Amino acid sequence: MTLSRVALALSLIPATQAFADQPDRESALKLDNVLISADRQVEQRDASSAANTVFTRADIERLQPSSVTDLLSRVPGVQVAPSGGRGSLPGIFIRGTKAAQSLVLVDGQRIANATSADSNLQYLDVEQIERVEVLRGSRSVIYGADAIGGVIQIFTRRGAEQGLQARLHTGFGNRGTQQQSLGLSGGDQQTHFNLSTSLDQTAGIDRTGPSFASDGDHDAYRNKSLSLNLSHWLSDDVEVGFNALDNRGKTEFDNPFGLFDPVTFDTVGQQQYSKFDLSSLGTYVDARINRTWKTRLELGHSENREKTLDKLSDDHYVFNTYRDSVNWQNDLALDGRNSLMLGGDWYEDRVNSSTAFDEDSRWNRAAFIQHRFKGEHFSTELGLRHDQNEQFGSQNTWSGTLTVPLNDANDVLLSYSEGFRAPTFNDLYYPDFSNPNLKPEHSKTYELQWRSRLSETSRLEASLYRTDLQDAIALDSDFRPENIGSARINGFEASLEQQLFGWTGKLGASVIDPRDRDTGHTLNRRARRTLNLDLDRQFDRLAVGASWQAVSDSYNDEANTQHIGGYSLFGLRSSWKASDEVKLEFKLDNALDKRYSRTLYSFDGSNYGYREERRTWMFGVTWTPEL
């Protein structure tokens, strides 16, 4: 349904029915034509002002991604740069902004650690995920700090809405890869629940090539995860719920920078590994106060804990961060054309580390308001947010969008948005590698979108945008953060969905020009061009698919002296529904056995690429017995 049709339909719906016609959030999680993250409420995807991509559980099972980052790399405008195989720290770049400038949520809770701002998406198991929504472009009016480049929201696994349903999945692949998961879900008209547990492990690869002899082993990865979701309708108008996710395990990695031995005065290698624990808890009350007013109150707690050790020494480092949060949002249907959203946020970050920080906690509180008008000939959206940060004081952000439906099949959107990001605890207080005089980053983004329903089986979306960053934080030659004068990112992205001769194709393309305006250098680790293509077809019980990804070259450093070559990857996948209860799956990633790197490291005065996985295969069986 195009925006013009939605706008017309809403204009004809009395205010008394505006909320009644919306699906509840739990039901919406299984739909591909709705969006939740853009305004923290259920809405039609075509009616949202945000450029967005949605992966449902059906998409995840069709694409068979090995990780969340594998799934995100399919989104136009999103680049993923791991540092050596599964379980390695990835850089996530949305529209040319760095990982710390994009917000990651799990069931509404922020999960990035407060020290480095890494969200550790590599530790989330796809078996525990029901839905992923990616918003491209600033949403700081709705979410505040860190949402400069965009928002990634992950919803944990849901299950059957009626009766009981069990599921068992087991899989194995090369390099000692094993996957097991077990889940039980059920529900009735009032209550829904899901309980899932999974194990994901692999012997891995040697992530570094030339390095110390002690680093020559394979770097393994092991992840145990558990998720629980429970929702209950106290009445027709009041729902309460609880969400929990816990991922913990071990990941091994190489340290090519070595360790200084005070006895021999030599630099020696290390065999390092991290024990991690990434968890989030949330509870909510969602109530329809009357026919025009809905309110939602969320309480959350997240933990990002990591302990790094070395097999060859007693060295160890602990970085644990904790976050408590409260969000209260109110949605008001003023009439058939006008709606208002207003609310407040509060969260507090705390750090417990083996490294001494001058400050180890800070809070942020905010109030926001957004008005939306939906007319037959145009629609508008105008929002304002005020943040009060304990350390950096007041921050105001604005956003506005004008939508013009050209006809029933084409919409044009013109938008402006502001954003900001406060420096992390590492930026400000890490001993010898910090800068306590840093200022917050600020952004202004201008965007033109075109959305077209070319036919009943074809959909095209394109965006042209510019993001200006002031006081952007980058590392100097001594690896200390500093505010550079300004940076700007010009970009174009497009996505096309097409059904033809029984095949479904999804094509995504992106071109960006991200530059430090003071030096003229390209921002590091950003490829200027990316292209993704997925083709799938269903033959009765047999499904087949293929993927192709192409990424152009980039630079590893701010000075543009360390070149990273481009690459292309090709993959195949298939599944067969052997019976109503049993499905077999097989996939072949990097089928052409391509050698490639996405991040560099230095050793012995030269630069080398972290190794990424070569040809990888995986076979799995899923059993969903009737109970």
The span from the CA of 254 to the CA of 94, in Å, is 27
The mean pLDDT value of the chain amounts to 91
The span from the CA of 93 to the CA of 83, in Å, is 14
> How confident is the model at residue 11, as a pLDDT?
38
> Does position 503 have pLDDT exceeding 90, yes or no?
yes
Q: How confident is the model at residue 21 (pLDDT cuts 50, 70, 90)?
A: low
Question: Residue 198's beta-bridge partner residues?
Answer: 181, 225
Mean pLDDT, residues 501-513 taken together: 96
Q: How many residues does the chain have?
A: 627
Round to the nearest angstrom and report the end-to-end CA distance of the chain: 37
> How confident is the model at residue 315, as a pLDDT?
80
User: Domain 3-450+594-608 classified CATH 1.20.120?
Assistant: no
> How confident is the model at residue 311, as a pLDDT?
80
The span from the CA of 344 to the CA of 148, in Å, is 19
Instruction: Answer whether 237's CB lies under 8 Å from 285's CB.
Output: no
> How confident is the model at residue 1, as a pLDDT?
36
Instruction: Answer whether 464's CB lies under 8 Å from 436's CB.
Output: no
Rg for the chain (alpha carbons), in Å?
24
Find, among 87, 131, 73, 206, the residue nearest to 568 by Cα.
Answer: 73
Mean pLDDT, residues 466-477 taken together: 90
The span from the CA of 373 to the CA of 382, in Å, is 9
The span from the CA of 287 to the CA of 19, in Å, is 11
The span from the CA of 465 to the CA of 437, in Å, is 31
pLDDT in tens, 95-153: 999 999 999 999 999 999 999 999 999 999 999 999 999 999 999 999 999 999 999 99
Please state, as a whole number, how many other Cβ atoms lie within 10 Å of the Cβ of residue 394.
Answer: 8
Find, among 25, 382, 36, 450, the residue nearest to 239 by Cα.
Answer: 25
Which H or E element spans position 421? Answer: strand 410-421
Per-domain boundaries in the chain: 3-450+594-608
> How confident is the model at residue 16, as a pLDDT?
38
Question: Residue 125's beta-bridge partner residues?
Answer: none
Q: How confident is the model at residue 5 (pLDDT cuts 50, 70, 90)?
A: very low
The span from the CA of 338 to the CA of 156, in Å, is 33
Q: How confident is the model at residue 265 (pLDDT cuts 50, 70, 90)?
A: very low
Residue whose pair of structure tokens reads 């997240």 in the numeric block: 302
Residue whose pair of structure tokens reads 């650690």 in the numeric block: 113
The span from the CA of 170 to the CA of 168, in Å, is 7
Question: Is 422 exposed, middle or buried (CB count within 10 Å of its CB: 0-12, 13-18, 19+)?
Answer: buried
Query: Does 22 or 205 have the greater pLDDT score?
Result: 205
The span from the CA of 107 to the CA of 271, in Å, is 35
> Does position 12 have pLDDT exceeding 70, yes or no?
no
> Does position 86 have pLDDT exceeding 80, yes or no?
yes
> Does position 382 have pLDDT exceeding 90, yes or no?
yes
Query: Does 535 or 356 have the greater pLDDT score?
Result: 535
Question: Residue 594's beta-bridge partner residues?
Answer: none
> Does position 603 have pLDDT exceeding 90, yes or no?
no
Please state, as a whole number, how many other Cβ atoms lie within 10 Å of the Cβ of residue 358.
Answer: 11
> Does position 517 have pLDDT exceeding 60, yes or no?
yes
Please report the DSSP string for 543-555 in residue order: EEEEEEEEE--EE
* Torsional class of 95: left (φ above 0), alpha (ψ -120 to 50), beta (otherwise): left
Question: Is 397 exposed, middle or buried (CB count within 10 Å of its CB: 0-12, 13-18, 19+)?
Answer: buried
The span from the CA of 385 to the CA of 395, in Å, is 8
Instruction: Answer whether 413's CB lies under 8 Å from 47's CB.
Output: no
The span from the CA of 284 to the CA of 162, in Å, is 22
Question: Is 20 exposed, middle or buried (CB count within 10 Å of its CB: 0-12, 13-18, 19+)?
Answer: exposed
Cα→Cα distances 214→18, 48, 310, Å: 65, 53, 11
Tokens of 380: 């508008």
> How confident is the model at residue 316, as a pLDDT?
87
Cα→Cα distances 306→78, 280, 541, Å: 26, 15, 44
- Strands (DSSP E) contained in 311-360 are 316-333, 338-353
Question: Residue 545's beta-bridge partner residues?
Answer: 536, 573
Instruction: Answer whether 465's CB lies under 8 Å from 443's CB.
Output: no
Query: Does 388 or 214 have the greater pLDDT score?
Result: 388
Residues 6+ apart with CB under 8 A from 501: none
> Does position 9 have pLDDT exceeding 70, yes or no?
no
The span from the CA of 504 to the CA of 495, in Å, is 13
> Looking at this protein, which amino acid is placed at residue 304?
N
Residues 6+ apart with CB under 8 A from 393: none
Instruction: Answer whether 467's CB lies under 8 Å from 444's CB.
Output: yes
The span from the CA of 6 to the CA of 11, in Å, is 8
Find, among 21, 19, 47, the residue nearest to 33 by Cα.
Answer: 47
Instruction: Answer whether 349's CB lies under 8 Å from 429's CB.
Output: no
Helix/strand/coil for 459? strand
Weakest mean pLDDT among 82-86, 90-94, 572-576: 82-86
pLDDT in tens, 33-49: 999 999 999 999 989 99
Find, among 539, 619, 561, 545, the residue nearest to 586 by Cα.
Answer: 619
Q: How confident is the model at residue 193 (pLDDT cuts 50, 70, 90)?
A: very high
Q: How confident is the model at residue 509 (pLDDT cuts 50, 70, 90)?
A: very high
Residue 155 DSSP symbol:
E
Mean pLDDT, residues 268-296 taken together: 91
Q: What percent of the chain has pLDDT over 90?
A: 80
Q: What percent of the chain has pLDDT over 70?
A: 95
Tokens of 466: 């510019």
Handedness of CA 557, 558, 560, 566 (dihedral sign): positive
Q: How confident is the model at residue 310 (pLDDT cuts 50, 70, 90)?
A: confident
The span from the CA of 382 to the CA of 387, in Å, is 17
Which H or E element spans position 427? Answer: helix 425-429
- pTM equals 0.94
Please state, as a whole number, how many other Cβ atoms lie within 10 Å of the Cβ of residue 509.
Answer: 18
> How confident is the model at residue 213, as a pLDDT?
77
Report the relative pairing of strands 43-44 and 34-35 from DSSP bridges. Answer: antiparallel
